[in-house]
Amino acid sequence: MSSTSARHIALLCGGYSGEYEISLQSAETVEKHLRVSGYEVYKIQVTRDGWDYVHPSGQRIAIDKNDFSFTLHGKKVVFDVVFNMIHGTPGEDGRLQGYLDMLGIPYTGCNAITSAVTFNKAFCNKIVASYGIVKVARSVHLIQGQAVDMDTLAMHLSYPCFVKPAEGGSSVGISKVKSREELVPAIEKAFAEDEQVLIETYIKGRELTCGLFARSNEEIVVLPITEIITRREFFDYVAKYTPGAADEITPADIPVHLANRIRDAARTLYLKLNCRGLVRIDFILEDVTEDLYFLEINTVPGQSANSIVPRQVQAAGMQLSDVYRELIEDCLLRKAATEQV
């Protein structure tokens, strides 16, 4: 395989969701570590107004979406791999993946189908529940425009419960509802972010999460587990991105048998959902029963200074630059294998 210096990497960031700023922060981390490894990195910001290569000087050059390229100093620049750091749409919901698949450009992370299914919390819950690996909280799935009898709905819910956009991340638009009176405002808040809403039974327990990725030799590396202890009502946007608003303990202080159960569940879900690249899977360990509940899966987990996965990588005694390089090399090997078929 040729040296990394010959590889042109498109680092995609931005996106169309409320996670735009977090995506830019994640891209800063990735760019720094990719440059250490010797890759030629081109940061591309995606917004609804356009897709632009952002030159270190600040100059912005529009991307030609016909072949995902741009022209710099009269020379056309094309890419060997896309390193996807867009949280939310269109980078985490399958849209970007489908576009790149049509162009034949390899990219880090899950394919279009897995990205689309796991991005929708309601659909993902149904699939995960069918596996019988872990439990899934009882929930109601609402779709904008479809009639709902709010009185009947309210009577059949138990409180507290969580109301959240079915498609979204970073806890944007989520509410913890403690009474029937709070339900309608919470649903409206969630619908302001998405066309689908998930109302989920509250599970009292410890929030535990772990990142994992597949190496080119198909080995799945499960990173140390993190326990999240928030000082707020729940692990919301403020708690996630405000230093000191939550404790993220890595590795989590849990018995070995529980840690093994969580790692095994994460590994099995990774395989069954056909994940690729670096993902993070969140669980709730119920207090009384010690039943393990699936919370959600993040197929483009944050890589910012305040993000969980980089700390897990460090706790595992690994270097981020090595992990990122493995993700890229896996893309290249898979493309090479496809071309030989």
pLDDT tens profile 72-94? 999 999 999 999 999 999 999 99
CATH code of the domain containing 8: 3.40.50.20
Please choose, from the candidates 49, 172, 170, 167, the residue with its C-alpha nearest in 3D space to the C-alpha of residue 119: 167
Return the pLDDT at 1: 41
pLDDT beyond 60 at 339: yes
Residues 68 and 131 in one domain: no
Average pLDDT of the residues of the chain: 91
Residue that finishes a domain, picked among 201, 223, 242 = 201
Return the pLDDT at 2: 44
Strands (E), 124-195: 135-136, 139-143, 161-165, 175-177
Tell me the whole-structure pTM to 2 decimals: 0.90
Residues 88 and 222 in one domain: no
Residue that finishes a domain, picked among 179, 201, 223 = 201
Q: What are phi and psi of 61, to 5 degrees?
A: -125, 125
Residues 56 and 166 in one domain: no
Q: What is the pLDDT of residues 238-270, one digit of tens each?
A: 545 555 667 899 999 999 999 999 999 999 999
Q: What is the pLDDT of residues 144-197, one digit of tens each?
A: 988 888 888 877 788 999 999 998 755 678 999 998 889 989 999 999 888 999
Residue that finishes a domain, picked among 183, 201, 219 = 201
Return the pLDDT at 323: 96
Query: Using the 8-state DSSP alphabet, how is residue 222 labeled?
Result: E
Mean pLDDT of the 17-32 span: 94
Our CA angle for 189, 192, 195, nearest 5°, is: 115
Q: What is the pLDDT of residues 277-328, one digit of tens each?
A: 999 999 999 999 999 999 999 999 999 988 999 999 999 999 999 999 999 9
pLDDT beyond 90 at 28: yes
CATH code of the domain containing 225: 3.30.470.20
Mean pLDDT of the 87-107 span: 96
Residues 196 and 220 in one domain: no
Mean pLDDT of the 26-46 span: 96
Is 212 within 8 Å of 281 (Cβ atoms)? yes
Residues 120 and 98 in one domain: no
Distance CA 77, CA 41 (A): 11
pLDDT beyond 70 at 232: no
332: in domain: no
CATH code of the domain containing 179: 3.30.1490.20
Return the pLDDT at 244: 63
Domain encompassing residue 219 = 116-136+204-321
Q: Work out how many domains the chain is built from and give that number.
A: 3
Return the pLDDT at 4: 60
pLDDT beyond 90 at 341: no
Residues 157 and 181 in one domain: yes
What pLDDT band is residue 67 in, cutting at 50, 70 and 90? very high
Mean pLDDT of the 217-236 span: 81
